[in-house]
Chains A and B, each alone.
Chain A
Amino acid sequence: MEVWKKIVVALTFAVILYPLLILLMWSVSEQWMYPNLLPTELDFSNYATLFNTYNLGKVIMNSIIISAVVVLVSMIMGLLPSKFLGTRKFRGKVAAQVVMMMPIMAPGIVILFGLINVFVELGINRTYLSLVIAEVIFFIPYAIMVLVPVFKNYDVGIENQAATLGVGKLSTLMNITLPSVRTGLVVSAMYVFMASWATYLAVSMYAPVGFDTVASLLYPAISNGQYPNDLLASLTVLFFVPSLIFLFISTWIMGTDKVNNRGV
Chain B
Amino acid sequence: MFDISFLSINGIKKRYKGAKTACLDGIDLELEKGEILVLLGPSGCGKTTLLKIIAGLESQDEGEVIVDGECIDGIATEKRPISMVFQKPYLFKNMTVFQNISFAPRINGRFKTKEEMNEETQKYIDLVKLTGFEDRSATQLSGGQEQRVSLARALILKPKLLLLDEPLSALDANLRVEMRLAVRDICKQLGQTVIFVTHDQEEAVAIGDKVALISEGKIVQCSQPNMFFKRPATKTVARFFGWKNFIECDYDGNGNVDSILGKFNVPDCDLEAGRKIMVVRPESFCEADDGIECTVEQISYLGMKVDYTLKIGDQQIFASMDPRELKRPGDIIKISIKGDAVWVVDDEPDPEPVIPDDVKKGIKGLLSKMKKKE
- Whether both chains belong to one complex is answered with yes
Chain B residue nearest to A160 (CB atoms) is: B57
CB distance from B103 to the nearest CB of A (A): 7
- Find out whether the CB atom of B86 lies under 8 angstroms from the CB atom of A165: no
Rounded to whole angstroms, the CA-CA distance of A13 and B92 in the bound complex is 42
Q: What distance in Å separates the Cβ of B241 from its nearest Cβ neighbour in chain A?
A: 31
CB-based contact B104/A166 at 8 Å: yes
Given contacts A160-B57, A164-B55, A165-B153, A175 and B104 within 8 Å (CB-CB): no
Determine the residue in chain B with the shortest Cβ distance to A172: B78
Please name all residues of chain A whose beta carbon is closer than 8 Å to the beta carbon of B140 when the two chains form the complex: 261
* A161-B82 Cα distance, complex, nearest whole Å: 11
Partner of A175, one of B57, B76, B90, B107: B107
Residues of A within 8 Å of B86, CB to CB, are 157, 160-161
Residues of A within 8 A of B56 (CB): 163
Complex contact B83–A164 (CB within 8 A): yes
Residue of B78, B92, B153, B154 near A176 (CB, 8 A) is B92
**Residues A175 and B78 in contact in the complex (CB < 8 Å), given A161-B86, A164-B163, A165-B154:** no
Is the beta-carbon distance between B94 and A262 smaller than 8 angstroms?
yes
**Closest-CB distance, A90 to chain B (whole angstroms):** 14
Q: Does A260 contact B (CB under 8 A)?
A: yes
Is B300 part of the contact surface with A, judged by Cβ < 8 Å?
no
**CB of A169 within 8 Å of the partner chain:** yes
Most buried by B among A160, A168, A262: A160
Residues of A within 8 A of B38 (CB): none
The count of chain B contact residues (Cβ–Cβ below 8 Å) is 27
Contact A160 B93 (CB under 8 A): no
Measured CA separation A58–B321 after assembly (Å) = 93
Cβ distance A161 to chain B, nearest Cβ, rounded Å: 4
A180 at the interface (CB under 8 A from B): yes
**CA separation between A158 and B95, bound complex, in Å?**
14
Instruction: Please tell me if the beta carbons of A262 and B139 are within 8 angstroms of each other in the complex.
Output: yes
Contact in complex: A168, B88 (CB < 8 Å): no
CB pair A161 B108 closer than 8 Å = no
Q: On chain A, which size bracket covers the interface?
A: 20 to 34
CB pair A160 B137 closer than 8 Å = no
- Cβ of A163 and Cβ of B139 under 8 Å apart? no
Q: Is the CB of A166 within 8 A of B108?
A: yes
Q: Contacts of B153 on A, CB cut-off 8 Å?
A: 165
Quote the shortest CB–CB distance from A54 to chain B (angstroms): 44
Contact B94–A163 (Cβ < 8 Å): no
User: Is B265's beta carbon under 8 Å from chain A?
Assistant: no
Nearest A residue (CB) for B137: A260
CA A157 to CA B79, docked complex, whole Å:
18
Q: Is B157 an interface residue (CB 8 A)?
A: yes
Most buried by B among A165, A167, A262: A165
Q: Give the residues in chain A near B84, CB-CB below 8 Å.
A: 161, 164-165
Q: Indicate if the CB atoms of B78 and A180 lie closer than 8 Å.
A: no
- Is B77 among interface residues, defined by CB-CB distance under 8 A? yes
Cβ-defined contact, B77 with A164, below 8 A: yes
A263–B94 Cα gap in the complex (Å)?
Answer: 8
A157 x B94 contact (CB < 8 A)? no
Query: Contacts A164-B163, A166-B83, A168-B78 known; A180 to B104 CB distance under 8 Å?
Result: no
Closest Cβ–Cβ distance, residue B126 to chain A (whole Å): 20
The minimal Cβ–Cβ distance linking B55 to chain A, given in whole angstroms, is 5
Q: Residue A171 at the B interface, CB < 8 A? A: yes
A261 to B136, alpha carbons, bound, how many Å? 13
B162 to chain A, nearest CB (A): 10
Cβ–Cβ < 8 Å partners of A220 in chain B = none
The distance from the CB of A40 to the nearest CB of chain B, in whole angstroms, is: 56
In the complex, A179 has a CB within 8 A of chain B: yes
Docked CA distance A98–B82 (Å): 41
**Complex Cα distance A9/B217, Å?**
64
Smallest Cβ-Cβ distance to A171: which chain B residue: B107
Residues of A within 8 A of B57 (CB): 160, 163-164
- Known: A157-B90, A171-B107, A180-B93. Contact between A165 and B139, CB under 8 A? no
* Contacting residues, chain B, for A262 (C-beta < 8 A): 93-94, 139
- If A163-B57, A260-B137 touch, whether A169 touches B78 (CB-CB below 8 Å) is yes
* Chain A residue, CB-CB nearest to B139: A261
Q: What A residues does B137 contact at CB under 8 A?
A: 260-261
Contact B94 A179 (CB under 8 A): yes
- A158 to B92: give the CA distance in the assembly, Å: 8
**Bound-complex Cα distance A155 to B91 (A):** 12
Instruction: Rank and list the top 6 A-B pairs by shortest CB-CB distance, nearest first.
Output: A164-B84, A179-B94, A161-B90, A165-B104, A163-B77, A261-B139
9 A–B contacts from the bound complex (CB under 8 Å): A155-B88, A160-B57, A160-B86, A161-B86, A163-B76, A165-B157, A166-B108, A168-B107, A260-B139
> Known pairs A167-B104, A261-B137. 7 more at Cβ < 8 A?
A157-B86, A163-B77, A164-B55, A164-B77, A169-B78, A180-B93, A262-B94
